[in-house]
Chains A and B, each alone.
Chain A
Amino acid sequence: GNSVTQMEGPVTLSEEAFLTINCTYTATGYPSLFWYVQYPGEGLQLLLKATKADDKGSNKGFEATYRKETTSFHLEKGSVQVSDSAVYFCALSARNYGGSQGNLIFGKGTKLSVKP
C-alpha cells in the first residue's frame, strides 16, 4: 500500500543553520508529493508540492525535489529562523487507476525547534 516515512524528531537547530528533513515514500501509480507545516495552535498549511518526477517545489525559502529513483522528497532550507519552529508533515496523494487523485497520506510529522 501507499505510505510515507519521515525522519523522527524533534530536530533542534540554531538560527541560520541548514535544515534537512528526510522523507521517503511507497506508492502505486503516479503520486504527487507535499510538505505541510503546522504552527503551534494552528491547523496544517500547504508549504510546497511537486506533481511529477524531478519537479522542485519551493516556498518561503524551503525546497524539496521529487526524486523518483530514490522515492524521496526531502525538505531543505538554507538558513532557518526562529519563526520556522513548527511540525512538518510529508504527504502523498497517489493517482487512482481511474485517473482521479487519491486522498492525502501523511507521515508522522517532524517537530522543528529553532533557537535564537
Chain B
Amino acid sequence: ETGVTQTPRHLVMGMTNKKSLKCEQHLGHNAMYWYKQSAKKPLELMFVYNFKEQTENNSVPSRFSPECPNSSHLFLHLHTLQPEDSALYLCASSQDAGGGFAEQFFGPGTRLTVL
C-alpha cells in the first residue's frame, strides 16, 4: 500500500452504535489530520496530530474521539452520533504541522451515514 489509506470506505451506523474509522499513512510523515466534508459546506478541519500529540481540536463534539497511537496511524472513534454527522470523513498527513507549509496528502475518505 502507498500513500494514505482509510477504512472502511463506507459505513452505515445507528445513533446508538459505536464504530471507529482508521487511517494509515505510508509516507513517513509526522502530522495527521481529520477533516469533515459535508455537502454544500467547506471542508472542516477537526483534529491535528503532530508527532503523536494533539495540537488542534477545532471545537469538535465529544462524540468524536481521536486516537493517534503512532505517527502512521490515526483513528476516529464514534459514539452516539446524530444524523447531521453524516458526511465524508477525510484523513490527511504531512511531513509535519507548523513551521513552513508542508503539503497535505489525503486519503479517499470514509462515507459515513448515520440513521
Contacts and interface: CB of A to CB of B under 8 A. Distances in A.
Given A100-B99, A101-B100, A101-B101, A44 B106 contact: yes
B107 to A, nearest CB: 5
A80 interface: no
Given A41-B108, A100-B98, A103-B48, A46 B103 contact: yes
Given A4-B42, A106-B43, A108-B41, A43 B98 contact: no
A101 B107 contact: no
Given A51-B101, A101-B99, A43 B109 contact: yes
B42 A106 contact: yes
Interface in A34-69: 41-46, 49, 51
Contact of B45 (A46, A104, A108): A104
19 contacts: A4-B42, A41-B108, A42-B108, A43-B92, A43-B109, A44-B43, A44-B90, A44-B92, A49-B101, A51-B101, A89-B43, A100-B98, A100-B99, A101-B100, A103-B56, A104-B45, A105-B42, A106-B43, A109-B42
